[in-house]
């Protein structure tokens, strides 16, 4: 039987008060901390959570790097900004590809492992997920999804990020993912304000609604 500890062991993912040395920011960028941002006074729309008073804040965690999983956080963040809500997106693990210059314009969609896959014109006819392993299928599926997004006039990932930043949204990178990928600040989309640790994110998200994608 597994022993239940009185004090569970928690891995150290970074200390907000004493961060490890990080790569030097690209020229013209100043490293910021979440505490540098005071919560602005914004208009509140709709019903507020029970017992809550004051401006709303939402934090979205973008953890996936596939095309079909890239949009939920971006679309919801854009909607939150439209409602006057202070909005932050934290990009971590494969979600970091969405704000990495060398990958963000080439995000792919695969049918492999997707048991919900079907064609829009035949919703009751599921497609075998294993077809995604056939050479060329990921490229074809990605092209089809991008065409559908274009037909619906949905902006590209880069354009969505431009809109979010222009609307006052805040973009943050995960330091662990940043270090794992061997990146420097100049490798990132220019709208990313800083790379922060898990402890920084906990501080940043205080009092916010958190949505994990």
CA 207 to chain centre: 19
Structure confidence at residue 175 (pLDDT): 92
Tens-digit pLDDT string for the chain (213 aa) = 445 445 544 444 455 444 444 444 444 445 555 455 444 444 444 444 555 555 789 999 999 888 788 888 999 999 999 999 999 999 999 989 889 988 888 887 766 666 666 666 666 666 656 665 667 676 777 677 777 777 778 888 899 899 999 999 999 999 998 998 888 999 999 999 899 998 999 888 888 888 888
Beta bridge partners of 91: 62, 173
Give, as one character, the DSSP assignment of residue 88.
E
Structure confidence at residue 8 (pLDDT): 46
Structure confidence at residue 44 (pLDDT): 43
Q: Which residues contact 94 (CB under 8 A, 6 or more apart)?
A: 63, 64, 65, 66
| Cβ atoms 58, 208 nearer than 8 A | yes
Structure confidence at residue 133 (pLDDT): 63
Structure confidence at residue 112 (pLDDT): 62
Give, as one character, the DSSP assignment of residue 14.
-
| Strand ranges inside 54-154, DSSP E | 57-62, 86-91, 118-119, 122-126
């Amino acid at each position: 039987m597994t022993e239940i500890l009185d004090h569970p062991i928690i891995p150290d993912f970074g200390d907000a008060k004493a961060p490890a040395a990080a790569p030097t920011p690209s020229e013209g960028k100043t490293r910021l901390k979440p505490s540098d941002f005071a919560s602005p006074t914004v208009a509140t729309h709709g019903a507020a959570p029970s017992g809550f008073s004051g401006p709303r804040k939402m934090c979205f965690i973008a953890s996936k790097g596939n095309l079909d999983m890239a949009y939920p956080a971006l679309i919801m963040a854009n909607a939150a900004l439209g409602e006057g809500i202070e909005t932050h997106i934290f990009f971590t693990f494969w979600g970091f590809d969405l704000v990495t210059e060398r990958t963000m314009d080439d995000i792919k969609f695969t049918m492999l492992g997707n048991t919900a896959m079907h064609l829009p014109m035949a919703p009751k006819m599921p497609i075998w997920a294993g077809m995604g392993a056939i050479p060329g299928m990921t490229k074809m599926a990605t092209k089809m999804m991008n065409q559908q997004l274009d037909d619906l006039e949905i902006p590209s990932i880069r354009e969505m990020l431009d809109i979010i930043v222009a609307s006052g949204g805040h973009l943050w990178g995960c330091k662990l993912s940043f270090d794992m990928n061997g990146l420097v600040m100049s490798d990132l989309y220019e709208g990313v304000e800083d790379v922060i640790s898990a402890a920084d994110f906990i501080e940043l998200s205080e009092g916010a609604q958190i949505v994990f994608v």
